[in-house]
Amino acid sequence: MENYKYIGQSVQKIDGKEKVTGAALYTDDLEFGPDLLYAEIVESTHAHAFIKNIDTSRAEEIPDVLAVVTGKDFPFKFGLYMKDRFIFAQDRVRFYGEQVAAVIARTPKAAKLGAKNIRVNYQPIDAVIKQLDSIKEDAELLHPDLENYVHVPWFFPKDKTNIAHHRKIRKGDMDKAFSEADHIFEEQYEVPRYSHCAIEPHAAVAKFDLSGRLTVWASSQSPHTQRHIFAEALSFMGIRHNDVRVIAPHVGGGFGSKAGVTMEIIAAAIATKYPGHPIKIIWNREREFFNTYQRPGVITKLKMGVKNDGTITALKHELFWDAGAYVEYAANVVNAVGLSAMGPYKVDNVQIDSYCIYTNLPPTGPYRGFGYSEFLFGLESLITQVAHKLNIDPVKIRRINAIKEGDTLAYGAHMNPNGLHQCIDKVAKEIEWDKKESSPHKNKVIGKGFSLFWKAPAMPPNASSACFLKFNEDASINILVSGMDIGQGYLTVMAQIAGEILSINPNKIRVENPDTDRNPYEWQTVASHITWSCGNAVKNAALNAKNQILELVARCKYLPIDTLFLEDEKVKCTTKANFELDLKDFIITGLQMEDGTFKGGPIIASGTFMPQFTSTKANPETGQGGHPNVHYTVGAAALKLEIDTETGKMKILKAVEAIDGGKILNPSLAKGQIIGGLLQGISTVLYEDMRFDHRGKMLNPNFTDYKIPTALDIPDEIVPILVEVAQPDGPFGARGIGEHPMIPAAPMIANAIEDALGIRIKSMPITAEKLCLAILNSSKTNINNK
């Protein structure tokens, strides 16, 4: 094991002090002066309708209202992976709450009053609310023009249907595998939509100045991707990428909701219609629920062939995604799952069909876990059911089938080094899997549930990161990167990586959230790839700086470069014990030679990273032939659940989660991800329950009716376990863990319920009410059966 100074240490967050003193500024905290204008949007009151006309005249007469903008002003599409969205609805609206127009005014009050006074005349069309209805022959088409939509080459839309993408995997011989299986099990599961619920709502301020320069301040996970999409969407005005500047202050939680582009494009676009003033748009909590992204819902149908000894021989997995009105981002969730719905198992015969289906509900998109929580609910439930039917222990059946390094993935490439089996062993031990437990309370029972999980970053094959590194006079460093610290501790970890290589304490390294004018390119802060990808860019920049320093010293001091090394802000020499040069004495000013001249100059370095082995070029009918994913992060989790059989109320007595993050760069931050992520996952099972009416209107877009956990709702105990099987191409062997902790929550709770009560619940959420009804029903059937 290498001896590291800063890597692997629980370094304090470099932005921690800002956050505990109230100094941290988020988008809505920035000061824009008395010239600031406000915008309010007009929302669709139908889930599906043609817009007959929009009457803006009354709004325009309201004092302090300056301009009204509608779809007519921006008649073109945008989107990340598929251009299927408009800045404002054009001839039709496709979900309840969709933006139809915006009012720009001097005060928020005037903007709101203006929005209220815009009359939109609609002609309703049949709304398609359920995804299985949407794929019926006679279903109303949401996007009749789908065949003309621009999209990435790895999507396969079905013309004249509501299917925006169909990802297929065909591996092995399914017929043979099923005929040779000793048992075949078939089940169906359902996972509804969820909301991210970052506590900071979306916020954007945009200014199109009189010289034609567009600046957007936004709460964002994707400043460069936003710049790219804004520049593309506004290119008809002659705007180039470097005319657009995105500045991203602190972000009050993202979880995927602030990735890509949603409401920010409204700010960017309307600013061009009223030049010279900053214009602010803040989403209220309601809109945060129904007009950013939601997590897509899914109905999954599974068929599994199994040998008597528990070996899985075949897996057929069909996934019908309720992706909503626009799928420019969600179609890639569907794609990612299509590639990985085999789960973390070795299965030789696999058939996956993942369908991205348009519905007249809010657009869906990336949400921590990127579809893996959704499909693993079914898969990890089914494996447990299979174990019970075959009388094999649920942990044992997982050990038998769990994937290992080198095993073939569903798309034909091979599994990366990983510690899945270690994770299983450690979790089983910590939760005392073999020990049956009963509650001392009458009416209460205890069950245990187990689940594996895995996830790969889902990205374009050439998603890249870049870093600038510059020294200051005192040998402190500023690092410029364009990932976002959305709370995960990314900035701190980047400082640790550079600090390790340059032997400088991370507390002397400043890394801040970006400004696209100053900071180099980054694709997005999503996919749990930022530690791995941007970490490699920072590592490369630091190595480059180190090389410049040592090369300069070697040249000026006539020493062989391979005898020089960095230690505690000094250059030292392996062959000369007394030799040491303080970085601060020459890092900017250079080294003085005997003749009085200086050599060197300010040390500045750069580094980039892009995976060079990935490809989405595959056979569209089988999914074989490409290498779409860079690697998978794996893990195992288990919990001990206490159930009140009279009320259905559940309490988690203990939860254990082991994750293989490769080399863990900062254990305190990694554990923070596990504890926070696990609760977010638990919340989707026990508390969050999104409701729509039959017209597609969300009924509970607020924290009173859509519950997320408080401090009183947390498990009694969470034990995070870090397993470290190095990722060969990761910085110091690291791979990402940000999304993964929440993924196993739902199946392990469903599995614990079955363990305790023999009741299998196949749809989420599993609220106390739902469980209580299931208990009542099962006791009725039990009585009837007697």
- Binding residues vs another protein (CB under 8 A): 10, 12-13, 15-26, 28-29, 31, 196-201, 250-255, 282, 284-285, 486-489, 668-669, 672, 675-680, 702-704, 708-712, 714, 718
* Complex with another protein: residue 253 or 590, whichever CB lies closer: 253
Q: What does 31 interact with, of ligand FES, another protein, none (CB < 5 to 8 A by kind)?
A: another protein
Task: Decide: 483 and 247 in contact? Cβ < 8 Å.
Answer: no
Among candidates 552, 730, 565, 699, which has minimal Cα distance to 632?
730
* Shortest distance (Å) from residue 25 CB to ligand FES: 15
* Shortest distance (Å) from residue 482 CB to another protein: 18
Task: Decide: 251 and 26 in contact? Cβ < 8 Å.
Answer: yes
Residue 512 to residue 515: CA distance in whole angstroms: 9
Q: What does 197 interact with, of another protein, ligand FES, none (CB < 5 to 8 A by kind)?
A: another protein
Q: What does 17 interact with, of ligand FES, another protein, none (CB < 5 to 8 A by kind)?
A: another protein
347: number of CA atoms within 13 Å, CB side? 35
Residue with tokens 């993935």: 409
* Complex with another protein: residue 83 or 250, whichever CB lies closer: 250
* Complex with another protein: residue 218 or 456, whichever CB lies closer: 218
* Shortest distance (Å) from residue 683 CB to another protein: 9
* Shortest distance (Å) from residue 449 CB to ligand FES: 27
Task: Decide: 645 and 778 in contact? Cβ < 8 Å.
Answer: no
* Shortest distance (Å) from residue 49 CB to ligand FES: 33
- Decide: helix, strand or coil at residue 329: coil
Q: Which residue is nearest to ligand FES (CB)?
A: 199
Per-residue tokens: 202: 């979306």
Q: What does 144 interact with, of ligand FES, another protein, none (CB < 5 to 8 A by kind)?
A: none
* Complex with ligand FES: residue 489 or 499, whichever CB lies closer: 489
Q: What does 714 interact with, of ligand FES, another protein, none (CB < 5 to 8 A by kind)?
A: another protein
* Shortest distance (Å) from residue 13 CB to another protein: 5
Among candidates 600, 586, 605, 549, which has minimal Cα distance to 474?
586
* Shortest distance (Å) from residue 200 CB to another protein: 5
Q: What does 390 interact with, of ligand FES, another protein, none (CB < 5 to 8 A by kind)?
A: none
Residue 574 to residue 596: CA distance in whole angstroms: 27
Task: Decide: 350 and 411 in contact? Cβ < 8 Å.
Answer: no
- Decide: helix, strand or coil at residue 566: strand
Of the listed 200, 380, 657, 739, which one is catalytic? 739
Residue 480 to residue 469: CA distance in whole angstroms: 6
* Complex with another protein: residue 280 or 572, whichever CB lies closer: 280
Asked about 512 being catalytic, the answer comes back as: no
The residues of the shown chain that bind ligand FES, judged by CB under 6 A, are 199, 253, 487
Exposure string (b/e) for 352-373, b if CB count within 10 Å is 16 or more? bbbbbbbbbbbbbbbbbbbbbb
Residue 268 to residue 251: CA distance in whole angstroms: 18
* Shortest distance (Å) from residue 143 CB to ligand FES: 36
Q: Is the peptide bond before 124 cis (omega within 30 degrees of 0)?
A: no
* Complex with ligand FES: residue 172 or 253, whichever CB lies closer: 253
Q: What does 250 interact with, of another protein, ligand FES, none (CB < 5 to 8 A by kind)?
A: another protein
Q: What does 34 interact with, of ligand FES, another protein, none (CB < 5 to 8 A by kind)?
A: none
Per-residue tokens: 498: 């550079």
One DSSP character per residue, 643-680 reads EETTT--EEEEEEEEEEE-BS-S-HHHHHHHHHHHHHH
* Complex with ligand FES: residue 487 or 600, whichever CB lies closer: 487
Beta strands at 650-660 and 718-723: parallel, antiparallel or unpaired: parallel
φ, ψ for residue 434, nearest 5 deg = -80, -10
Q: Would you give the DSSP letter of residue 325?
A: S
Among candidates 503, 583, 351, 369, which has minimal Cα distance to 7?
503
* Complex with ligand FES: residue 377 or 706, whichever CB lies closer: 706
As annotated, the active-site residues are 739
